[in-house]
A and B are shown apart, each in its own frame.
Chain A
Amino acid sequence: MKRTEESEYHEFVVSRLEPLRRTAYLLCRDWHTADDLVSITLGKLYRHWRRAVAAQNLDAYVRGMLTNAWLDERRRPWRREQVTDVVPDAAVPAADPADPAGLQRLLEALPPRRRAVVVLRFYCDLSVAQTADILGISEGAVKSQVARGLQALRSLADTTYVGQE
């Protein structure tokens, strides 16, 4: 990497660090893992900086890398499903408007891909097409994955921010 590229990289990374960490946290629900994922992503970004800069939307590109880093990470043996004596499936808890942590619980309850869709679509504010592109799935799949979380999100948002925007 040339010196000018390096300073561009540095500037970009520093300005996007916090949003990236938040996105990673929403995906993996753990700050330590989130920081790991961001580090992995930034390392990859350094290696592929030229290709990344050439992309249409650098932010979307980096978020794609992050999401993929997380999905990869989930495939690692120590993150695979474990046998437990408690039934893991449970009803999605109703979001309580008075409790912002309810949103976190809601996310927690979503399976990984659907969680990724929700985070990219609503937290990162990407379009259906962009989300589909990053995850390598069809737009229809994005829409259907989103549908379930959307209702709960909307009711929560409506009650919390009524009249503010």
Chain B
Amino acid sequence: MDPTNPLIVQSDHTVLLEVASPRASSARDALSRFAELEKSPEHIHSYRVTPLSLWNAASSGLTADEVTTTLTEYAKYDVPQSVLFEIREQISRYGRLRIVGNNLKLVLSASSAGVLAEVCADKHVRSLLGIQINETSYHVPQGSRGALKQALIRLGWPAADEAGYETGEELQFDITASLRQYQHDAVRSWWADGSAAGGNGVLVLPCGSGKTVIGLAAAAQAASHTLVIATNLLAARQWISELKSKSNIDPELVGEYSGERKEIRPFTVATYQVLTWRDPNAEEDADLETRHPHLRLFRDHKWGVIIYDEVHLLPAPVFRATAEIQAIRRLGLTATLIREDGKEPDVFSLIGPKRFDAPWKDLERQGWIAPATCSEVRVDLPEESHIEYAVADAHNRYRIAATTVSKLTVLDLLVERHKHDRVLVIGQYIDQLRAVARRLDAPLITGQTSERMREKRFDAFRSGEISLLVVSKVANFSIDLPAANVAIQLSGTFGSRQEEAQRLGRILRPKPDGEQAHFYTIVTRETVDQQFAANRQRFLTEQGYAYQIVDAHEIGRTGSSQTA
């Protein structure tokens, strides 16, 4: 027991890391091999040792002794025996069930008949298995591979999937842009030397840290036909343009599979929208591919890698389709592995475990994402709205508070303050955004704006032709606006934490001169707006961003002094 040590191991399997400790850095390196980073506020980061994280560590060759030694060596206080016991127990479970064979014949093999009997006692698992070969192995039907892994993980018996992957058709290209160290690390941890132990999983990196490049590098590493699934058309086109500009790929080999075009090429970028498009003529109880005909894209071509952009948004039909294509390498990319629907375990079992996670503030310190200040500007609800607000139902209360005219005055001041910057004004309510666009004489992009017009306006913003853009939540994800350095949030989807993080992400692209990014969120004081804001900020504060709270009149003062 050494009070200067950086770790506190809790009996609920969380591990607290004191950032200020001299040994914090080495402890973090050791810890991150078998624990998941949960949050990283300014002083104490929280990790969690989960069965999944331990199985993951075991799959990479870490032993129970190494894990327990790390904990006891760095722990400030005695490590609870229950934690050490659990670590031994979970690590010993990994590898006792293995899925082996090849794409023609899959076998679930157990280290002992007892383990197999235990998992087979579960009806669901049994239904996913074929005939029994001997007392320690069963045939596994090809289509059951993903579902079986899901079911086994639920039972607490992870199967080591050693059946490998289909190689897919060959596609050779190189990334011409140079990769940063963390991008290299991320790709390497996903690829795992091409072994069956890697080739799947999720990389969690902050917005603006170059996830697209990592995806492209992963595809180049796999050197086989690649399918990328992006959130929307605009994002898909961004992938294509990034690919063309940062690699030596023949543009002829790149295709777009969207509502507008249905190109299937060796490197194809599709959208969630087109894949989940539902055939209106299909029966309700028809099979998945009859209802969502474009999901055939997964199987109709011999893909070597499938990349899921913004994996935290992966829709249910795509999940189900993914369960059936476990023989293809998979890569998920996201900034926040928070799913508002709580489906994180499905992401883990179908796309794969988290392979890499970089704290936002670490990348900021290294200069890979722009340093950002977050401010919450508080305005008052005008007196005339008090009664309306007080008698409104819960849903309308937020609308009244979020769209109050008081915000516009502050918005004016902020826009004035940042008149030399590239400013995004982001909001939830279209009426409010229209009013703002009129007031500021700025172009507006909402869901109703045509793709062509969106692209034109984003391009104008990127090129510097316009410096102020008003956008709805369509710009939350995957929109690359490197020049943007100020975001002003007027309203949002209630208390969504990942939306807040994504919106901050819009301005985190590193600026040429290391310039600071500014994220403002304008909040109506003493209303539900303020409560939602507190919840929205939780993810970012856990990532180490401290919100500065300022009053509207202070903006006026500093604003006027600046302009003066």
Determine if chain A interacts with chain B. Answer: no
